[in-house]
Structure 1
Amino acid sequence: MPETLTISTNKPKEKAFDYESLRSTAIQHIEDTASKIWTDYNVHDPGITSMELLCYAITDLGYRTSYPVPDLLTDEKSDPQTVIKHFFTAKQILPTRPATINDYRKLLVDIVGIKNAWLRKRTKKVFADLVENKLVLQQPAGRRNDEVKVKGWYDVLLEYDVTVKKDEVKKALLQKAKGLVLDNRNLCEDFLEVKEVDRQPFRLCSEIEIKSTANAFDTLAAIFLNIQLFLNPLIKFYTLQEMLDAKIPADRIFNGPTPEKGFIKSEELTGSELKAEIRLSDIMNEILKVDGAININEIIFNPTDQAEELENKWVVKVKDGFQPVVDVLASNVLVYKDGMPFRPDMAEVKLRYEKLLASVLDANETKSSEDILFSTGKFRHPSVYLPLRYHYPKTYGIGHWGLPNDATALRKVQAKQLKGYLWLFDQLLANYLSQLASLRHLFSLDETETQTYFTQLADEFKNAKDLFAAEPTITDHLHNAAEPPALFHKRRNLFLDHLLSRFAESFYDHVSILQSIFPATDPKEIIKVKLDFLKIYPALSSERFLGYRYHDAAHLWDTDNISGLEKRLHRLLAFQNGNRRTLVNLITGEAEEIVAGNKKFRFHFKDNHTGKLLLLSTDLFDTVATCDEELEVAFLLATDITNYKVVNDGSGKFQYELHDKIDKLIASGEKFNTKKAAEAALKDFLEMFKAQSEEGMFLIEHLLLFPDNGEIFMPICVDPDCDDCSDNDPYSFRISIVLPAYAPRFLNMDFRRYCERTIRMETPAHILPKICWVSNDQLHELEDIYKEWLMVKAGAKDDTDGKILKQLIIVLTSLKSIYPPSTLQDCTSREERKLFLLNQNSLGTLKS
């Protein structure tokens, strides 16, 4: 029977829906403010007519505002993707890369062909020689030493599906599993061996009474199945609906890596861990669960290779790292039915047991891991506005009928006046509906958004142009009046802050530091930083503890193959380029020349990316030390554009030259055919000098520097007189973060402190970061050897003698943070005194 539609007679709860209440409030307001000149409140009064129409308009706005949120977010095309793109679904935002052992197990059992997987922690033992202050492989004899267990490694054990029998298939699964765990490696952790789990077979020796109606072979097959499933519980896969029906909340369902074969219950995964011991009482319980088994007269359950009697048959130990399995053929079971003994053929029992096991495994079919869907709503044209004038009686002459052809000039003027008066109300109401219809734009991550206050011109009436003096541009005027650029930047940031707060993220400190230290920062840049962060937030959140893929030799340099922590820090600190790449733009050095049989030296400035010579000293120096001293002087002079000249060398060529304060020529650049080209080259050089280094960082995990063979260890810090301050393990959960000190923003010590605080706050609590701000020379040296070591670690370069690793350790451990130079001043100095702050300045010379 079709539903009968009725209009409710109940008084609306919301005042915006209650026309009568709005009308009464309006009349009361008229009485309170204009009762001396306005006393006729009947419906024929034009003022009352206008008031009633405005009350009706308010109810219309209230009704549209009450639309379901999905309806307000959808667009005219009603395309689900239009709405979804503004929000992260549960499957996008809730999963994370593996963080726990169970997470890795979920990841591995999601591979088709792998039934179960386990991770085993492994440590590597070395010794700290407290006399020589170094790590050694063998315990030093006759000298004080400490045993050091370096942590962070895991071995992976795999159990294949019963259908996986061929060696080549197993090998392929091993490679896939190893690649998967390395792709999902946690920071400061690594995987050593991935192999098939070793099995320890157990046999059942027992006398069991069964029912007279029970089939002995079927009963024993069910008993062995129960025992096997107890020893190795099956990991079941569930659909999303099954998980929701089990009252498991969405955040727990999607916790961990994103599954493909279906969802797994955490308690079932934990229950399928490798057993360390087997209690005989549990085996007896599994036997008696079988319908048909009545009693157990005698029972022993022990390993098949157990020759001697067990000390305690009630608790049987399992070899560490082995998977216990029941061996049907090795078992010996005597069955009693109605008191009569019967010894069944175990080969037949095994055949029936395998059929039962296969049916159980087949029933555990893989499920699809769906996403939680949400309604995209129905488009209701919320911005469509019908002006008030259309609701006035025809006699007013302001609707679509207009005035009669014989209307007087006075009548036409009066109609225009009323239209102009009502247009103010129309515009206010139309803007409200435009704002309502644009709700989806307020939370959009689209960079092209330029409004948070939305307007629409209420011009849907006859002869609208007659009211506007500049109709073609009035829309622009309307928008600019509603939201000037400064207000847009403020409100856009507020909406983005709201979205960030939903993920417990904040850019408050970042914005504050930029506005206080770099007040010229464009507000658009702050908006862009927040948008860039939010757009890839699922990755920044789920991969925050992920290590880089060191085995991917094809993507090591000039790629985004970096740790999740680095990616997150790049966004939080607003670095323009997050790839692992060369950071030094400008390098300095000495060039050797032979003059009259003697070695001479010049200093130079080069483009580190192209190797192009930018500036070469005019003088030759007898020693490297003298050359370096003059290089320091030239370095300081090179910062001031007034120290440069563009000159003609007399042959029609032009070059830029660097002069000192007494106009002595210090160094010169490349020669050009025109003065304009030389000036352009000088400008480029000064820009490069200003940004000698690009913003970025290198994060090096110390665990990956542990030698595979030999004794190329990182240095240790040992104080024999202090038990609490020694540091004899430089590998476990340690990282070094190296940043260029000469990147423009990094020259500001306040910004440096902000960067350091952000790095320490974002680094996982169990990892200790060492932060270094290094010079271009140090960074250039590190980049060269680090790039080589990356290739070695990926297996693309040989380092059997360990020279590359040794050199990287030397360079890395010798890095020193540099600070802006300052000098100490005595009390008699007439110069303006400047503070010398520890850990913020380096002691310079008078020359610097």
Structure 2
Amino acid sequence: MTEEWKEPYIEQHEAEDALYTRLHRQTREEIQRLSGKVWTDYNAHDPGVTLADVADYALTELDYKLGFPLADYLTEENGTLDLRRSGLFPPEEVYTTHPVTEEDYRRLFLASIPRLAGVTVTADRETGGYTVRILPSPFEEEGERKALEEQVRKVFHSHRNLCEYLEKVETASLKELEFRADLEIEAGEDADDVLARLYMEILEYLYRFPVFSTPDKEGEETPPSEWLEGQTGTVRVAFPEQQDTEHELYGRLCRVKGVRSFKTCYLTLDGKPQNDFSGGFGLHIPEEEPDLEYNPYKEKKDKELKVHIRQGKQNVQVDTGRFRTRLETLYRIREHRLEHKVNNSAKAAGWTQPAGTYQDVYSHYPIANDFPACYLLSKDGKAATPFEAYLKLYDRVIEGGLRELKELPQVLSLSDEDAGNLSDRRTRELKRQYLDLLDRLYGVDSNPAWLAEHNRYGETEEGTLRRRMRFLRNVPVLLRDRNKARDITDTDSLTGNDTPTVKRWFCLLLGITPDDGRAVSNVLSAHNLLITEKRDGRPFRDIDSLLIHERMLEADNVEKVDYMELASDEKEKQREYGRMWHELHLLNENRISGDLFRGGTDLDNYRVVRCGREEYLLAYHNREHPGWTNLGRSADKERLKILANILRRFLRELNRACETLYIVEPVLADRSRPFQVFAVLPAWTARFHSPRFREECRRLLRSLLPAHIGGTVYWLGERDMRMFERCYRQWIYSLTDARIGEYRKLLLDAMLEAMETAVEKQDLDDTY
């Protein structure tokens, strides 16, 4: 017998291969090289050798601390490992997709509503309308069938794609077949149970019950990318391949537990045996008991059981009520099993999930403490010797590395609360590199170059990182639900997060609040301001404090305004705004020129102008039209510079608050407008006023929309936007509330009327 040897628990390494040995050898070689190979009579106790020993031990310990898996460093002290925080999402959030085809919707309904016996989905390819026909179980009452129809509506609208709508949901009515048979059952079997199992087998065959698979076992061998491909969830819904013939069904019935043999066995329609079931049939479930004396030639009632059962030589009486109860129990057990499988599919996933163990490796023991006592190093807080000061350089390097290691979870975090110290340049650079990595990992661009080119609101490096972090936190949903539209059955859709994914992507990328719960036309009204734009035939000087270009505007009398740090506290910031309103009288006219509203976001457009011996003006240099505008007057020029900084910040906030995107699907109110969307945006902000920026926005929207959807981008002025938003909110409510559904078309026409006078219209058709 061959003797088996067990490997030692700790793998032994050769001494020459140990890290410390290699470090010590390399250290001596480096010292020899630096000394010109003249230091040859060293002893083990020489200070240089001792220092090398201690430093090599410290490096060996550091190597140990840096040798744990990455997951350990991301694990919190309480043992929690949240990889979502670092933008590393589980497979079921990354690889799943939104339903697109009729078959996708069919599988979705069956997985979401296990009580459905079957469902067919038909799409009108000309209009995008869907008709859903459901097949409830034979045991559902009329009220329960209505509830199933409502569930189907809810599931459809929560997964609806852009420009799709639900035409109708109806309960299918199938022709019912009667089961006629003369059979013998095994001894000791209960006739009611056997008959219930036979009927359940027939129901499964006729209804083609789907097979639900979860990744609990199969997923151990199947990669998640393969298992979840084309799926809306972790549950796979497959339909059995069958011939739909009498012969195939007969073979399955013969294998039912308790059946010994059949004398006769067939399914009839109007008394005629059927051998092809591909047309779709239901099954009649009898309600009355048969006569004990079997007579195949005797005419029987429609509700009577037409199955004769023998056990040996004895005829067996079937309790129809008990049989129906057993059959319904079998059916409900199947439903509950499916429901349990669906609800626990994510928990049962067999894919290996990363696990981490918290490692307390971030403290450092000063290397000076490892020296022998003969070195007489200072203790108890005494003044350090020059040698000790030299040793602290080693400590500083090691402590710095461990500090960076401890901050790694913050550097990799996408959360605003624990993103790390983004005011630190090195932290910002590491964070930027990690966000670039996530961009490549998910195939997105969270910071396109054209956004940086149009940085009209002074977004800092920190601000850019936070905007990108917010976008990447949402990237699984943005990718999975890219074509998803608004849930028009959600009564809180205006105030919640249920906005079309195209809008969420656009707004998160641009740093805009993505919900529809705010009206941008109210932003200026809330400050009692009205934008005035210069138009032909309207004297600009009548609505603006335009300065005549005279000597006081010459270079000798004009000073630039430099950037100043303002209050970061919200309460103090509002106080600054209050003083600005009080001191800059131009704002008290309740009107602001579009030029100032947009150009005032740039500090380079402000100047302090000397207009007298001790008098100064705060002037704004118009960018869209010639001339200068007087914003205010003071004897304190420094105060005017502060006011310019405050005004600049105030206008940046207003511009940002005025930006949004509305996605309108006209087909929801007008079936003659299929596969079109209207993208509506404000035209009066600093970024959205730029023709080049508008074109980039159009390109972005075109890239986000499916290829079969076209439409128009409308850039509205403030007055038109006010009318549009008033109608838009009512239109959304009309889609949700059937009581005002008759006004949908009227509200759509009113929105179109406001959009007709848009500042600019852009075609969304794929022409580039």
Higher helix proportion: 2
Aligned match of 1:446: 415
Deviations 1:371-396 (A, max 9, x none): 36856533332111111111111111
| Percent of matched pairs sharing the same residue | 18
Aligned match of 1:362: 333
Deviation at 1:613, TM superposition (A): 6.9
Deviation at 1:104, TM superposition (A): 4.6
Aligned match of 2:505: 568
Quick check: 1:545 aligned with 2:464?
Answer: no
Q: Distance between the aligned counterparts of 1:758 and 1:450, measured in 2?
A: 28
8 Å CA contact 1:559–1:581 kept in 2: the answer is no
Q: Distance between the aligned counterparts of 1:685 and 1:505, measured in 2?
A: 31
The 5 Å alignment of 1:700-711 reads 700-706=664-670
| TM-score of the pair, normalised by structure 1 | 0.65
The 5 Å alignment of 1:62-77 reads 62-75=63-76, 77=77
Deviations 1:579-602 (A, max 9, x none): 35433469xxxxxxxxxxxxxxxx
- Quickly say closer, same or farther: Cα 1:735–1:374, change in 2 above 3 A: same
8 Å CA contact 1:226–1:286 kept in 2: the answer is yes
8 Å CA contact 2:506–2:701 kept in 1: the answer is yes
Aligned match of 1:159: 136
Quick check: 1:529 aligned with 2:467?
Answer: yes
Deviation at 1:335, TM superposition (A): 7.1
Deviation at 1:419, TM superposition (A): 0.7
Q: Distance between the aligned counterparts of 1:109 and 1:194, measured in 2?
A: 15
Pick the aligned partner of 1:503 from 420, 442, 455.
442
Aligned match of 2:600: none
Deviations 1:58-101 (A, max 9, x none): 211111111233322223x3241666644544555555555555
Deviation at 1:426, TM superposition (A): 1.6
Quick check: 1:187 aligned with 2:158?
Answer: no
8 Å CA contact 2:105–2:121 kept in 1: the answer is no
Aligned match of 2:297: none
Task: Compare 522-531 and 177-186 and name the one that shifted more.
Answer: 177-186
- Quickly say closer, same or farther: Cα 1:298–1:60, change in 2 above 3 A: same
- Quickly say closer, same or farther: Cα 1:103–1:151, change in 2 above 3 A: closer
Deviations 1:40-73 (A, max 9, x none): 2431221111112222222111111112333222
- Quickly say closer, same or farther: Cα 1:581–1:516, change in 2 above 3 A: closer
- Quickly say closer, same or farther: Cα 1:104–1:343, change in 2 above 3 A: farther
Pick the aligned partner of 2:207 from 222, 232, 255.
232
Letter in 2 for 1:537: V
Pick the aligned partner of 2:400 from 431, 436, 446.
431
Aligned match of 2:373: 394
Pick the aligned partner of 1:385 from 336, 351, 364.
364
Q: Distance between the aligned counterparts of 2:120 and 2:379, measured in 1?
A: 78
Q: Distance between the aligned counterparts of 1:756 and 1:417, measured in 2?
A: 66
| TM-score of the pair, normalised by structure 2 | 0.71
Deviation at 1:441, TM superposition (A): 1.8
The 5 Å alignment of 1:237-636 reads 241-242=216-217, 244=219, 247=222, 249=224, 252=227, 256=231, 264-267=235-238, 270-271=239-240, 278-290=244-256, 300-303=266-269, 306=270, 313-316=274-277, 318=279, 324-327=282-285, 332=306, 348=319, 351-352=322-323, 355=326, 358-359=329-330, 361-362=332-333, 365=337, 366-367=340-341, 368-369=343-344, 370-371=346-347, 374=353, 377-398=356-377, 400=379, 416-447=385-416, 485-508=424-447, 510-515=448-453, 520-553=458-491, 555-556=493-494, 560-576=497-513, 578-579=515-516, 581-584=518-521, 608=525, 630-631=537-538, 633-634=539-540
SS at match of 1:266: strand
Pick the aligned partner of 1:150 from 127, 151, 156.
127
- Quickly say closer, same or farther: Cα 1:302–1:317, change in 2 above 3 A: farther
Letter in 2 for 1:151: G
Aligned match of 1:602: none
Aligned match of 2:49: 48
Deviation at 1:29, TM superposition (A): 1.9
Deviation at 1:513, TM superposition (A): 3.7
Q: Distance between the aligned counterparts of 2:419 and 2:232, measured in 1?
A: 37
Letter in 2 for 1:159: P
Aligned match of 1:694: 658
Deviation at 1:428, TM superposition (A): 1.0
The 5 Å alignment of 1:805-824 reads 805=747, 807-808=749-750, 810-811=752-753, 814=756, 818=760
- Quickly say closer, same or farther: Cα 1:583–1:809, change in 2 above 3 A: closer
Deviation at 1:281, TM superposition (A): 2.8
Letter in 1 for 2:416: E
Q: Distance between the aligned counterparts of 1:7 and 1:291, measured in 2?
A: 56
Task: Compare 769-778 and 3-12 and name the one that shifted more.
Answer: 3-12
Q: Distance between the aligned counterparts of 1:23 and 1:294, measured in 2?
A: 84
Unaligned runs of 5+ in 2: 1-5, 287-302, 550-587, 594-638
Q: Distance between the aligned counterparts of 1:65 and 1:766, measured in 2?
A: 52
Deviations 1:644-681 (A, max 9, x none): 9xxxxxxxxx969999xxxxxxxxxxxxxxxx9xx99x
Deviations 1:739-775 (A, max 9, x none): 2232210222332222122111111233324323333
Aligned match of 1:650: none
- C-alpha root-mean-square deviation of aligned residues, in Å? 4.9
Deviations 1:668-725 (A, max 9, x none): xxxxxxxx9xx99x97999599959922111111320226xxxxx5xxxxxxxxxxxx
Deviation at 1:343, TM superposition (A): 8.0
8 Å CA contact 1:187–1:701 kept in 2: the answer is yes
Aligned match of 1:133: none
SS at match of 2:486: coil
8 Å CA contact 1:27–1:41 kept in 2: the answer is no
Letter in 2 for 1:51: A
Deviations 1:442-483 (A, max 9, x none): 21123356758xxxxxxxxxxxxxxxxxxxxxxxxxxxxxx9
Deviations 1:487-507 (A, max 9, x none): 443332111222333322222
Aligned match of 2:577: none
Aligned match of 1:78: 78
SS at match of 2:175: strand
Q: Distance between the aligned counterparts of 2:15 and 2:325, measured in 1?
A: 69
Letter in 2 for 1:546: K
Letter in 2 for 1:774: L
- Quickly say closer, same or farther: Cα 1:117–1:440, change in 2 above 3 A: farther
8 Å CA contact 2:15–2:21 kept in 1: the answer is no
Q: Distance between the aligned counterparts of 2:543 and 2:412, measured in 1?
A: 48
8 Å CA contact 1:78–1:376 kept in 2: the answer is no
Unaligned runs of 5+ in 1: 125-148, 404-411, 453-482, 587-606, 618-627, 645-653, 660-675, 708-712, 714-729, 821-838, 840-848
8 Å CA contact 1:223–1:286 kept in 2: the answer is no
Deviation at 1:178, TM superposition (A): 2.8
Letter in 2 for 1:583: V
SS at match of 2:178: strand
Deviation at 1:397, TM superposition (A): 1.5
SS at match of 1:191: strand
How many residue pairs match? The answer is 651
SS at match of 2:128: strand
Q: Distance between the aligned counterparts of 2:504 and 2:668, measured in 1?
A: 19
Aligned match of 1:202: 177
Deviation at 1:530, TM superposition (A): 0.6
Quick check: 1:33 aligned with 2:4?
Answer: no
Task: Compare 227-236 and 510-519 and name the one that shifted more.
Answer: 510-519
Q: Distance between the aligned counterparts of 1:448 and 1:695, measured in 2?
A: 25
8 Å CA contact 1:553–1:796 kept in 2: the answer is no
